[in-house]
Amino acid sequence: MVRVLIADDSSFMRRVLREILTESGYEVVCESPNGLAAAQDYKKVLPDIVLMDYNMPKLKGVDSAKQILKHDPSAQIVMVTSIGSKKKLIEALRIGVKNYITKPFETYTLLKTLGKILGDKAPDIEFEVEEDDDFQVIGSSFGQYLLQKGIISQDQLLHCLEVQNSVNRKIGEIAVEEGLMLPEQVDKILKVQKRINKYFGQLTMQMGILKSRQLQQLLKVQQTHYINLEDIMAREKIILKEKLEAELEQFRSLDQGDQGVYGLQWIKENFENGAVFEVFTEQTLKLLMRLTEFFVLEGDCSFDNEKIRSNGIVVELSFSGDFNWMYILNISNEVAIAIADAMVELEDDISQDVLLEVAGEFVNIVCGNAISKLDNNNIKFDMKPPKIKKVDEEHITLPKGREALIIPILVPEGQVDLVIVGKNIFAQRQKNFEG
């Protein structure tokens, strides 16, 4: 069995990696909470491969890797990081790191990367999934598009989704009824699907449970019960048929990446350095969509220069370089639990400390992806480690001389506020925007 050392300062991320690896036939022999411990632990356990986070206290992952490789030049190290800067990743590869994976990663991407390095020593992967270049939208992206344009209300969309859910039958249910699958096989696929954004039917074939002919049979049965969202909207008279067809045509003309995050142009157009803020907002919304399945970008964005409302958990990330500003994620415990549950199956109560780690990991992933997208624009970022705290007070006081743009976002589990804070960074002040 392949022996793995996991090095990550987030106990939650160590848990995510541990569960994926143990379920896939690997043995996790050690978990190190920082880079210094990882370098010391390597000498003690001599693992077959190391999964190393880039940003860790006491010693950065790349420096820990240097120490390990100095001790053992044949060490197999994979960086697992939310840092999007290609230069930093290239630096890691140059010192002898074998490969890297950026968060959020698909299970298959992780296992495929390990398999390439380990060769015949790696456990067999029981399914294959094509990798995606970007996040795919989960849930009703067309409904979300209409919601963000203000064409339908949240209540109207939720009503249509409830109607759709009551009519449409899931393939897994039909497969069990038809005697083609056992309930435990359905549960197994749903567990995999939770981490891999792929259709249920695809996974049944890729995991060798159903043959193509059997899947086609199930799809035919499902089709007799299926009603798409736009038909339900028309039937429920939510939108006039002509208007619905016009919006559907416009929606289909969008790039896939824009179908779930619509209407962010106002950030770029109204703020100095707005292009940067737009990318960070976009990546926040895309990750929320992926992990919580649904969000509402509300229209009543606001400014403040004194205080902002607290939802319970606050993550502050400060940037310096070409300009100084701060990214704040302000979420509730319920939202943090939903994010955690989307990343790993929760079987017990999750502690407050772990929820804080989850919120911090979310911000690290968002900012890593945003920086990666901005990497080619020659914008210099110096990102400090995030400050994560539980806030019991109703409001958070802003530093003197700073002003904040507050973007309220509603997800099924509660309220999320994305806050951009800076000093004289706003070219214009507008009290209301259309999301």
- Specify the CATH number for the domain of residue 112: 3.40.50.2300
Q: State residue 430's pLDDT score.
A: 44
Classified as helix, coil or strand, 201 is helix
Task: Check whether 151 has a pLDDT greater than 80.
Answer: yes
Residues 146, 27 share a domain: no
Q: Give the span between the Cα atoms of 359 and 346, in whole angstroms.
A: 16
272 and 247 fall within a common domain:
no
What is the distance between the alpha carbons of residues 35 and 61, in angstroms, rounded to a whole number?
5
Report whether 359 contacts 284 (CB < 8 A).
no
Q: Kindly state whether residues 269 and 417 are assigned to the same domain.
A: yes
Q: Is residue 127 part of a domain?
A: no
268 with 381, same domain? yes
How many residues does the structure list for the chain?
A: 435
Pick the closest to residue 310 from 334, 329, 336, 291 (CA basis).
Answer: 329
| pLDDT tens digits, one per residue of 134-146 | 333 333 567 777 8
Average pLDDT of 238-254? Answer: 84
Specify the pLDDT at position 133: 36
- Report the range of poorest mean pLDDT among 98-102, 227-231, 354-358: 227-231
In sequence order, which ranges of 181-294 are alpha helices (DSSP H)?
Answer: 183-195, 200-206, 212-223, 229-235, 241-253, 256-259, 265-270, 274-292
* In a shared domain, residues 399 and 276: yes
The per-residue pLDDT for 8 is: 92
Of 128, 23, 30, 29, which Cα lies nearest the Cα of 345? 23
In tens, the pLDDT along 320-373 reads 766 678 899 999 888 888 888 777 666 566 788 888 888 988 888 888 778 877
Structural domain count, the chain: 3
End-to-end CA distance of the chain: 51
Give the integer Cα–Cα distance in Å for 188 and 198: 14
Q: Whose CA is closest to 13, among 79, 67, 80?
A: 80
Residue 267 within a domain: yes
Whether the predicted pLDDT of 377 surpasses 70: no
Higher pLDDT, 361 or 150: 361
Give the structural domain span for 358. Answer: 260-422
| pLDDT at 177 (0 to 100) | 85
Q: Which residue has the tokens 């999964």?
A: 51
Task: Tell me the C-alpha distance between 201 and 180, whole Å.
Answer: 13
- The verdict on residue 346 lying in a domain is yes
Identify whether residues 220 and 289 lie together within a single domain: no
106-120, 182-196, 247-261, 347-361 — which one is most confidently predicted on average? 106-120
User: Domain for residue 129, yes or no?
Assistant: no
pLDDT tens-digit map of 291-310: 776 666 655 567 777 888 88
> Are 384 and 286 contained in the same domain?
yes
CA angle, 230 as apex, 216 and 152 as ends, to 5°?
Answer: 145
- Radius of gyration of the chain, Cα coordinates, nearest whole angstrom: 23
DSSP per position, 384-424? PPPEEEE--SSEEEPPTT-EEEEEEEEETTEEEEEEEEESS
